[in-house]
Amino acid sequence: MHPTRFLTGITTSGTPHLGNYVGSIRPSVRASQAPDVESYYFLADYHALIKIDEPARIQRSTLEIAASWLACGLDPQRVVFYRQSDVPEIPELTWFLTCVTGKGVLNRAHAYKAAVDKNTAANADPDADVNVGLFMYPVLMGADILMFNAHKVPVGRDQVQHIEMARDMANSFNHRYGEHFVPPQAVIEESVATLPGLDGRKMSKSYDNTIPLFAPREQLKKLIAGIKTDSRAPGEAKDTEGSALFQIYQAFASEAETQALRQAYANGIAWGEAKDLLFERIDREIAPMRDAYEALIHNPERIEAILQKGAAKARQISMPFMGRLRQAVGLRSLVGATADVTRTKTSKAAVAAFKQYREKDGQFYFKLVGAQGDVLLQSRAYASPQVAGQRIAQLQQQGDTALRALANELEPLDAAAHAAVAATLADMAAANA
């Protein structure tokens, strides 16, 4: 059984607030702990560049979001947690997908269309102040998803259109170049509440009504004291309906606790007292994570190291996959280009193979052996089998480029032998594509 792959991106354009926690971080961290799932979480910092041109803010937000997810229990051992811009195959794939996506499709993307509609309504040029990043947003997102062939993408309603576009990109690429991509599906979290903010509207940075997830205790208390309530006096029964305070409490409390507050409302609890209850309830859940957050945020090296490890894990997938995609679209070494273009996978190269072995000297080696048992390529000694294995992978993925880069570690080849090996590597890659 193949585990279901989930993938979620978080744009690094702000400071996480309680609404993000309840709506995204908490359910996602829980979901990542389920058996039989493979989860990919990444910091969508290329996406952030579309809206933000302040470098320090991008960096700060990346730090805060990474620290928040880790503090809330995301386990980087268990999931693949990485930063989008550490995976250069993603922008490369973006270009491939750009070339199979109709411009008309992107004209209809909600975010771009909203900007155009706003300009049109203001009698301005339809594309005034619209950068091409906004226009291309869905393609970059498609590359995020297809790079790892995610099956399911948990998103809010506003993102469903993007997932549908990613499906279309997968299908049109597959149609042209063979079955490379799994068309992804959106998972809409209906059960997850949207949290009201301080003023009762949806908690959102754009309304300036948020409560930062890791505000210090005193600030949290102050902010909660500022939640909008009606003017009913202590002793007067209160309405739970439409009470932001009640809804926020409910997002943190058990059934029984919620029931108790409902009763207290009916009994005329004073607003000040209700706010104290809410503060204590939230703080009980957040306080231990706040300590973890503080420790992380003051130790950016640790977060950086975690992200680097995550990127290495991600690239173990993205690099060889991108190698196959380059082959598939025809971005290939010219060596072997005179071969019959209709040749199928059963070329002689398909029977060439890498052999890895250990010599009596205790060192590790590999060689590329042709169909007749002839040695086409011979490595020098490696102290560890892992490094030898990595070099083989590099040759498989990058062909001639790796052959040149690794020249110092290989027995020398003359020009003709070099060309023959490069052609064999290209054929092997094509046969595996």
Q: How far is CA 6 from the centre of its chain?
A: 10
Q: What are phi and psi of 215, to 5 degrees?
A: -60, 140
Contact status: 153 vs ligand TRP (CB under 6 A): yes
Q: Is 186 in the site for ligand TRP (CB under 6 A)?
A: no
- CB nearer to ligand TRP: give 161 or 378: 161
Q: Which of 5, 6, 11, 395 binds ligand TRP (CB under 6 A)?
A: 11
In this structure, are strands 375-378 and 364-369 parallel, antiparallel, or unpaired? Answer: antiparallel
Q: Supply the DSSP symbol for 13.
A: S
- Minimum distance from residue 148 beta carbon to ligand TRP (Å): 10
Distances from the Cα of 94 to the Cα of 31, 99, 138, 166, angstroms: 28, 9, 10, 11
Q: Does 143 bind ligand TRP (CB under 6 A)?
A: no
Return the amino acid letter for 392: I
Strand partners, 83: 43
Nearest residue to ligand TRP on Cβ basis: 9
Single out the residue of 45, 64, 89, 144 in contact with ligand TRP (rule: CB under 6 A): 144
Between residues 48 and 248, which has the closer beta carbon with respect to ligand TRP? Answer: 48
Cβ of residue 83: shortest distance to ligand TRP, in angstroms?
A: 12
Q: Which of 6, 8, 80, 210 binds ligand TRP (CB under 6 A)?
A: 8
The continuous run of DSSP H or E covering 293 comes out as helix 271-297
Among 6, 7, 100, 286, binds ligand TRP (CB under 6 A): 7
Grouping H, G, I as helix, E, B as strand and the rest as coil, residue 336 is coil
The Cα–Cα gap between 428 and 410 comes to 19
For residue 389, the minimal CB distance to ligand TRP (Å) is 31
| DSSP conformational letter for 347 | S
Closer to ligand TRP by Cβ: residue 142 or 399: 142
Q: Which is nearer to ligand TRP, 154 or 320 (CB)?
A: 154
Contact by Cβ (8 Å): 238, 252: no
Distance in Å, CB of 262 to ligand TRP, minimum: 33
**In the complex with ligand TRP, which residue's Cβ is closer, 43 or 100?**
43
Q: What whole-number distance in Å separates Cα of residue 45 and Cα of residue 52?
A: 10
* Shortest Cβ 51–ligand TRP spacing (Å): 10
Out of 67, 90, 93, 155, the residue judged to bind ligand TRP by CB under 6 A: 155
* CB contact at 8 A, 212 and 297: no
CB atoms within 10 A of CB 376: 15
Residue 65 CB, nearest approach to ligand TRP (Å):
11
First to last CA, the chain: 23
101 binds ligand TRP (CB under 6 A): no
Look at residue 33 and give its three-state secondary structure. coil
141 binds ligand TRP (CB under 6 A): yes
**Binding region for ligand TRP (CB under 6 A):** 7-9, 11, 44, 47, 141, 144-145, 153, 155, 159
